[in-house]
Structure 1
């Protein structure tokens, strides 16, 4: 049982590590408000609560990777929309390159590919 708990924790940590970059990638496709991000990330099994996204968006904004604008909602209060800044675009491009190498390496090991000497 302890091993199962450790495995779950390591997967949670891995998921946390990539969610930031997934948010940036989603914002690179189109401007969104936080609830849209929560729905998309939840649909893909990456997060389970809004409490994950709001602090993350605040950190990304503080680091200058996203910019925001307020817009009136059709049937509710104004919404804060998020979009990538120039630095955010650069961060997504860099992560895509690094992720391609990392995921290929991990997949090769997990799948039992030949050893590289």
Structure 2
């Protein structure tokens, strides 16, 4: 049987694609290319999680939001502070656990996204 070997891409629908691309470039440092996206290159030890949540889960944001993207960061506190300073809507809670540190914020179209700082050495 053939199996999926990883996540090959994440694709977002936007009301104003150019504006949302610019928002992600400005606030998360994603260097959007001419074709409208960016290719993240993984290194040894990198990983991508995949999970399905129940329809009524509030973890993904507002009920009509069908997805949430998790972005890996080196310093969660610094990233959250940077976003707050820029006026970005940031959730107050930060979760610390065995899998690392997690925080949440919202893009220019009010899509909730997750920021993940892996544990040291991961």
TM range (shorter): under 0.3
Where is the helix percentage greater, Structure 1 or Structure 2? Answer: 1
Relative to the length of structure 1, the TM-score reads 0.25
Relative to the length of structure 2, the TM-score reads 0.24
